[in-house]
Amino acid sequence: MRSLVSRVILSGLVAVAAAGCDDAPDPPPRPDPDKAIECVPESSGADPDASDDLDGGASPGRCAAGQICLQGRCYGACTDDSDCGPREECAASGACVRATGPMVDAGPADSGLPTPCDGVECAAPSVCHPLAGVCVECSVETIAAAPGEPGFCAGLSPICDVANGNCVGFDPRPCAPCRVDAECDDGAGFAGRCTERTVMGEIVERVCLLECDPATPGTCPAGLVCDGALMRCVPPVGAACTTWLRGNARSSCVLDEDCGPLGADRALFTGACIGEMFPMVPDGAMDTDAGPPTPGACFQPCGVSEECPDVAGGQMCMGEGAMLFCQP
């Protein structure tokens, strides 16, 4: 079963185009994207049918049956621990949370459950990535590694990008990998906080995120939204920082998973890699003798155009089906 976040409901965020007629009614106002509000949780006590005087439009409502409201977005609820990622369990609320039972104390390998690293041997100093089951430079499990130990990052690349398993250099900016707050301050105006967060149900990342106030619109840079629970500016629609960075950079890709962090569900953002071309024979099958595919580029997933980093430059949130991406 896909991870909890992989079933984020994007269809409720798709903007409906105006009819284009002079007498057509104005479209209803959208919620402020900086508030990242699509729903309100049952426990909040808020009335989903009440109007929001600040927005001048309709307040967000409740999620459909089988969904829960997390950080203002609707997600598919889990029903048991098998719906969640490694070292997570399904809470009574229907959300995947970090496990607090024997699995954490004893470690996944001692729980009797198979893990991606079962049977994987990595030559030191590399280590096994806990989600992808491949050998990498470092992982979330080696953050406290001492010099000389497997998974320790040193030299010009002292920071572990735990979501991707590689050692990187100091580069303070939104979504940059980090170890401590000091690595999120460039001394020239950008001062974020090094924050550990879990996205896509199981991807752990430690990244620089700016603080924000969901009650104050415009506190986040273009392309980011304010997470009311973290009080941080994060990528929209539950995307990982890796997905956001590669989409903004138009990183080269051949497959959709090239645009996401290591070990992510490959179908999470279907269509994130746009423009790739595979050699085909007349019957539509891939022609393995015609050479490698032509790479495409990664695009940032979105819910509405206001979540795109360059709306003023003509970017719009568009696509086919439920998956939408910021495109010129």
Domain-by-domain residue ranges, the chain?
4-115+170-327, 116-159
What's CA 109's distance to the chain center, in Å?
27
Whether 2 shows a pLDDT value over 50: the answer reads no
Q: How high is the pLDDT of residue 46?
A: 55
- Tokens 């735990």 correspond to 162
Could you read off the pLDDT of 169-210 as tens digits, one per residue? 999 999 999 999 999 999 898 999 999 999 887 889 999 999
Q: How high is the pLDDT of residue 95?
A: 75
pLDDT band at 293 (very low <50, low <70, confident <90, very high): confident
Residues 138, 151: contact at Cβ < 8 Å? yes
DSSP 295-327: PEEE--EESSGGGSTTTTTT-EEE-STT-EEEE
DSSP 121-137: ---TT-EE-TTT-SEES
Q: How high is the pLDDT of residue 150?
A: 92
Backbone phi, then psi, for 135, in 5-degree steps? Answer: -80, 130
Percent of the chain with pLDDT over 70: 68
Q: How high is the pLDDT of residue 227?
A: 92
Q: How high is the pLDDT of residue 209?
A: 96
Could you read off the pLDDT of 73-124 as tens digits, one per residue? 677 777 877 676 555 567 777 777 655 443 333 344 445 567 888 888 999 8
Q: How high is the pLDDT of residue 102?
A: 39
Length of the chain: 328
- Tokens 């106002």 correspond to 29
Both tokens assigned to 87: 């070292």
Residues 117, 133: contact at Cβ < 8 Å? yes
pLDDT band at 161 (very low <50, low <70, confident <90, very high): very high
Q: How high is the pLDDT of residue 11?
A: 34
Could you read off the pLDDT of 237-276 as tens digits, one per residue? 999 999 999 999 999 999 999 999 998 876 688 889 999 9
Q: How high is the pLDDT of residue 173?
A: 94
For residue 258, count CB atoms less than 10 angstroms from its CB and return exposed for 0-12, middle for 13-18, buried for 19 or more.
middle
Q: How far apart are CA 265 and CA 181, in angstroms?
A: 29
**pTM (global) more than 0.85:** no
Residues 318, 324: contact at Cβ < 8 Å? yes
The whole-number average pLDDT for the span 140-147 is 89
What is the number of H-type helices and E-type strands within the chain? 2, 20
Q: How high is the pLDDT of residue 21?
A: 37
Q: How far apart are CA 215 and CA 36, in angstroms?
A: 11
Whether 25 shows a pLDDT value over 60: the answer reads no
